[in-house]
Every structure is written in C-alpha cells, then in structure tokens.
Chain A
Amino acid sequence: ILNVEQSPQSLHVQEGDSTNFTCSFPSSNFYALHWYRWETAKSPEALFVMTLNGDEKKKGRISATLNTKEGYSYLYIKGSQPEDSATYLCAFLYGGSQGNLIFGKGTKLSVKP
C-alpha cells in the first residue's frame, strides 16, 4: 500500500514567521512529487511539480526541496502572511506521467496577523 505522510498536521504561526512542512513518500518507483495549496472553498492550486533528486523550486516566498533517495520533500514559507493560511497537500505521482496522485492528509497552516 502506497502511503504519503505529511507533518505536522496543523501549524499556527505569527505573521512574519518562517515555517516548513515535511512530506514523506515511497522512495521506489518515483515519478514526480506535487505540492498543492488548498484554501477553503477554493480549488487546490498547484505550487510545484518536482521530478529530480535534489530539485529545489521557488515561487515567491515559498520554496521546496526533494530527496527521492530517502523519500522526503520539504516545503518552506519565508515570512508567513495571513494570506498563506491554507492546507498544503503533497502528492506522489504513481505509475508514470499519466498515473494517479496519492495524496497526504495535508498540513493546515494558520497565520495570525
């Protein structure tokens, strides 16, 4: 059974704090690792698609790293803002480029002004 674990489950930070979350996934048969941001009542929004071991990607204040050999990815948010409040999902793409996404349960981030 393929399992994707995310930690922590939830996180409360103050505006301006930097934070990071972890995603653990199977290290065998790796194809890609996706990160999504899901705000309440909105569509999940793709943040990053990572495919290569050692990949680092950045989008504004958000960045992610990937270690496929040990099966983990980190998502970092620098200087959190209230608008960063959302659930952050990682998903392991299984079975090739048209395969299925196996999701973790997500990390719910709340940023207080």
Chain B
Amino acid sequence: SAVISQKPSRDICQRGTSLTIQCQVDSQVTMMFWYRQQPGQSLTLIATANQGSEATYESGFVIDKFPISRPNLTFSTLTVSNLSPEDSSIYLCSAGQGSAYGYTFGSGTRLTVV
C-alpha cells in the first residue's frame, strides 16, 4: 500500500497567520482527502482533492479558509488561513486505495494557534 509523508508534524502559529501542510505519496493516487480532528471530536473530512480539478469541500468548510492544491498525482497541500485558536487541531491527509484495503494516512500535523 502507499506510504504518505506529511509535514510539518507539529507547529505553533500566531493568530492571523497561515500554515501550509504538505503530503507526498510514494505512488500515484487519484483521490486524496484532508481531515481535521478538533480536540475531543471525530476525524472530519474537510475536502477531497483530485488532480486537475478544484477540490470538493464538505459542508462547513470553504476554499478561502482551507485552500488546497493538487498539482500532480503524488502531492497535495492544505493551507489553513487566517488562523484562530479554534483552528488548533490535528490535520491528516489520506489517499484512497479502494475500499477493499482501507485508506492510507499521513502521520498528521498537530497545529496549535496562540
């Protein structure tokens, strides 16, 4: 199965700034997903990123706040913009391998906004 390298693993950011998270997959994948886990909550899908098209955002998430790039089949970035303390969460990227095998995840980015 694919291996995903995600970075940074953690960061502490000032409110009002932005953080860009990168995910590199060791093989070509059609679909990549970005998730957020707020403290005490479930992993929640932010958006689905397909190469060559605009990302598809879930209800409650907007492109201005969470711009996503997917320049090729092995790489994607998520930017969390105009940071506020409520953005303090773990952010995970994932690649779909087909439902028979489960999905592969990066190791997560723990963001703290101060």
Q: Which residues of A contact B (CB under 8 A)?
A: 4, 31-32, 34, 36, 41-44, 46-49, 51, 89, 91, 93, 97-98, 100-106
Which residues on A sit within 8 Å (CB–CB) of B58? 100
Q: Which residues of B contact A (CB under 8 A)?
A: 1, 4, 9, 31, 33, 35, 40-45, 48, 58, 92, 96, 98-108
B41 to A98, Cβ gap below 8 A?
Answer: no
Which residues on B sit within 8 Å (CB–CB) of A34? 102-103
B45 to A100, Cβ gap below 8 A?
Answer: yes
In the complex, besides A32-B99, A46-B1, 16 extra interface pairs with C-beta distance below 8 angstroms are A34-B103, A36-B105, A43-B108, A46-B103, A46-B104, A47-B102, A49-B102, A51-B99, A91-B43, A93-B99, A98-B31, A100-B33, A100-B45, A101-B103, A103-B44, A106-B42
